[in-house]
Amino acid sequence: MKLWQRRVLGILAVGGGAVGATLSVIALIRVSHVIEGLIYVAFSCLYAWGIWCGVKMFEAQPNAERYNRRFWLIQIPALNSPLLSYTMVCGFQVTLSLEFTPLKFGASLDAGSQFNFSLLQWDHPWSFGINVFALGIFLWMARKFPDVSAGAVQSPQ
Protein backbone atom coordinates (compact mmCIF):
# COMPACT_ATOMS: atom_id res chain seq x y z
CA MET A 1 0.00 0.00 0.00
CA LYS A 2 1.31 3.41 -0.89
CA LEU A 3 2.06 5.84 1.90
CA TRP A 4 -0.59 8.36 0.80
CA GLN A 5 -3.26 5.61 0.73
CA ARG A 6 -2.29 4.50 4.23
CA ARG A 7 -2.47 8.11 5.42
CA VAL A 8 -5.88 8.79 3.87
CA LEU A 9 -7.36 5.64 5.41
CA GLY A 10 -5.72 6.48 8.74
CA ILE A 11 -7.08 10.04 8.70
CA LEU A 12 -10.60 8.85 7.89
CA ALA A 13 -10.54 6.26 10.66
CA VAL A 14 -8.86 8.39 13.34
CA GLY A 15 -10.65 11.64 12.51
CA GLY A 16 -14.04 10.07 11.92
CA GLY A 17 -13.62 7.82 14.95
CA ALA A 18 -12.76 10.77 17.16
CA VAL A 19 -15.80 12.75 15.97
CA GLY A 20 -18.07 9.72 16.32
CA ALA A 21 -16.76 8.82 19.77
CA THR A 22 -17.19 12.41 20.93
CA LEU A 23 -20.76 12.58 19.63
CA SER A 24 -21.71 9.26 21.19
CA VAL A 25 -20.17 10.15 24.58
CA ILE A 26 -22.00 13.50 24.57
CA ALA A 27 -25.24 11.68 23.75
CA LEU A 28 -24.47 9.13 26.49
CA ILE A 29 -24.46 11.89 29.09
CA ARG A 30 -28.09 12.72 28.25
CA VAL A 31 -29.59 9.21 28.20
CA SER A 32 -32.66 8.38 30.20
CA HIS A 33 -32.83 4.59 29.77
CA VAL A 34 -30.28 1.86 30.41
CA ILE A 35 -30.72 0.22 27.01
CA GLU A 36 -30.24 3.54 25.26
CA GLY A 37 -27.06 4.03 27.28
CA LEU A 38 -25.78 0.58 26.28
CA ILE A 39 -26.34 1.45 22.61
CA TYR A 40 -24.30 4.65 23.00
CA VAL A 41 -21.55 2.75 24.80
CA ALA A 42 -21.48 0.19 21.96
CA PHE A 43 -21.13 2.90 19.32
CA SER A 44 -18.49 4.67 21.42
CA CYS A 45 -16.53 1.40 21.46
CA LEU A 46 -16.92 0.98 17.69
CA TYR A 47 -15.60 4.49 17.10
CA ALA A 48 -12.74 3.90 19.56
CA TRP A 49 -11.94 0.74 17.61
CA GLY A 50 -11.91 2.90 14.45
CA ILE A 51 -9.35 5.21 16.05
CA TRP A 52 -7.25 2.17 16.96
CA CYS A 53 -7.55 0.83 13.38
CA GLY A 54 -6.47 4.21 12.00
CA VAL A 55 -3.43 4.37 14.26
CA LYS A 56 -2.45 0.84 13.20
CA MET A 57 -2.76 1.99 9.58
CA PHE A 58 -0.60 5.09 10.17
CA GLU A 59 2.09 3.00 11.82
CA ALA A 60 1.93 0.23 9.16
CA GLN A 61 1.54 -2.38 11.89
CA PRO A 62 0.92 -6.04 11.08
CA ASN A 63 -2.72 -6.85 10.29
CA ALA A 64 -3.64 -3.15 9.96
CA GLU A 65 -5.26 -3.81 6.60
CA ARG A 66 -7.37 -6.67 7.96
CA TYR A 67 -8.68 -4.61 10.90
CA ASN A 68 -9.38 -1.61 8.69
CA ARG A 69 -11.21 -3.78 6.19
CA ARG A 70 -13.49 -5.03 8.95
CA PHE A 71 -14.02 -1.48 10.18
CA TRP A 72 -15.16 -0.39 6.71
CA LEU A 73 -17.36 -3.47 6.39
CA ILE A 74 -19.53 -2.45 9.36
CA GLN A 75 -20.12 0.92 7.67
CA ILE A 76 -21.63 -0.50 4.46
CA PRO A 77 -25.27 -1.27 5.43
CA ALA A 78 -27.90 1.36 6.12
CA LEU A 79 -30.97 -0.51 7.35
CA ASN A 80 -34.26 0.97 8.43
CA SER A 81 -37.35 -0.96 9.50
CA PRO A 82 -39.94 -0.94 12.27
CA LEU A 83 -38.00 -3.76 13.96
CA LEU A 84 -34.38 -2.62 13.63
CA SER A 85 -32.51 0.34 12.19
CA TYR A 86 -28.74 0.56 11.85
CA THR A 87 -26.35 3.01 10.24
CA MET A 88 -22.77 3.81 11.13
CA VAL A 89 -20.54 6.19 9.20
CA CYS A 90 -17.01 7.23 10.03
CA GLY A 91 -15.38 9.99 8.04
CA PHE A 92 -17.35 10.08 4.81
CA GLN A 93 -20.41 8.54 3.19
CA VAL A 94 -22.10 8.25 -0.17
CA THR A 95 -25.24 6.23 0.50
CA LEU A 96 -27.74 4.97 -2.05
CA SER A 97 -31.02 3.75 -0.61
CA LEU A 98 -34.35 2.24 -1.57
CA GLU A 99 -37.45 2.94 0.50
CA PHE A 100 -40.23 0.42 0.03
CA THR A 101 -43.34 2.28 1.24
CA PRO A 102 -43.79 4.36 -0.86
CA LEU A 103 -41.30 3.05 -3.39
CA LYS A 104 -38.57 5.64 -3.90
CA PHE A 105 -34.84 5.91 -4.34
CA GLY A 106 -32.61 8.16 -2.30
CA ALA A 107 -29.03 9.27 -2.10
CA SER A 108 -27.03 11.11 0.52
CA LEU A 109 -23.54 12.52 0.66
CA ASP A 110 -21.97 13.57 3.94
CA ALA A 111 -18.62 14.19 5.55
CA GLY A 112 -18.28 13.43 9.24
CA SER A 113 -19.50 10.69 11.50
CA GLN A 114 -22.98 9.59 12.43
CA PHE A 115 -24.78 6.57 13.74
CA ASN A 116 -28.35 5.42 14.08
CA PHE A 117 -29.70 2.43 15.92
CA SER A 118 -33.24 1.71 16.98
CA LEU A 119 -35.38 -1.21 18.01
CA LEU A 120 -39.14 -1.57 17.70
CA GLN A 121 -39.92 1.86 16.27
CA TRP A 122 -43.19 1.04 14.52
CA ASP A 123 -43.39 4.36 12.65
CA HIS A 124 -40.09 3.78 10.76
CA PRO A 125 -40.45 2.92 7.07
CA TRP A 126 -38.78 -0.07 5.46
CA SER A 127 -35.64 0.88 3.55
CA PHE A 128 -32.26 -0.52 2.66
CA GLY A 129 -29.17 1.42 1.71
CA ILE A 130 -25.54 0.88 0.91
CA ASN A 131 -22.71 3.24 1.74
CA VAL A 132 -20.94 2.93 -1.61
CA PHE A 133 -17.93 4.85 -0.32
CA ALA A 134 -17.34 2.27 2.44
CA LEU A 135 -18.14 -0.55 0.01
CA GLY A 136 -15.59 0.80 -2.45
CA ILE A 137 -12.86 0.97 0.19
CA PHE A 138 -13.75 -2.50 1.45
CA LEU A 139 -13.64 -4.01 -2.06
CA TRP A 140 -10.43 -2.16 -2.94
CA MET A 141 -8.76 -3.51 0.21
CA ALA A 142 -10.13 -7.01 -0.48
CA ARG A 143 -8.60 -6.91 -3.96
CA LYS A 144 -5.31 -5.38 -2.85
CA PHE A 145 -4.91 -7.71 0.16
CA PRO A 146 -6.71 -10.95 -0.81
CA ASP A 147 -4.90 -13.13 1.71
CA VAL A 148 -5.82 -10.82 4.60
CA SER A 149 -9.23 -12.49 4.88
CA ALA A 150 -7.52 -15.86 5.30
CA GLY A 151 -5.86 -14.57 8.45
CA ALA A 152 -2.35 -14.30 7.07
CA VAL A 153 -0.12 -11.68 8.61
CA GLN A 154 0.76 -8.85 6.24
CA SER A 155 4.18 -7.29 6.40
CA PRO A 156 4.27 -3.49 6.07
CA GLN A 157 4.89 -2.32 2.53
Domain count, the chain: 1
Is residue 156 domain-resident? Answer: no
Q: Which of 30, 39, 50, 41 is nearest to 117 (CA)?
A: 39
Task: Tally Cβ neighbours within 10 Å of residue 131.
Answer: 26
Q: Find the domain containing 23 and state its range.
A: 3-148
pTM exceeds cut of 0.85: no
Is residue 69 domain-resident? Answer: yes
Q: What secondary structure letter does DSSP report for 146?
A: G
Is residue 92 domain-resident? Answer: yes
**Percent of the residues in the chain that have a pLDDT greater than 70, as a whole number:** 93
CA torsion, ordered 45, 149, 11, 78, to nearest 10 deg: -60
Residue 121 makes CB contacts below 8 A (sequence gap 6+) with: 82, 85
The arithmetic mean of pLDDT across residues 124-149, rounded, is: 83
Is residue 153 domain-resident? Answer: no
Above 70 in pLDDT, residue 148? Answer: no
The arithmetic mean of pLDDT across residues 96-119, rounded, is: 83
Above 70 in pLDDT, residue 62? Answer: yes
The arithmetic mean of pLDDT across residues 106-123, rounded, is: 80
Is residue 113 domain-resident? Answer: yes
Q: Is 87 within 8 Å of 124 (Cβ atoms)?
A: no
Task: Identify the pLDDT of residue 131.
Answer: 93
Is residue 46 domain-resident? Answer: yes
CA gap 147, 62 in Å, rounded: 13
Is residue 155 domain-resident? Answer: no
pLDDT band at 93 (very low <50, low <70, confident <90, very high): confident
Is residue 88 domain-resident? Answer: yes
- What is the helix (H) or strand (E) element at residue 144, kind and residue range? helix 132-144
Residues in the chain: 157
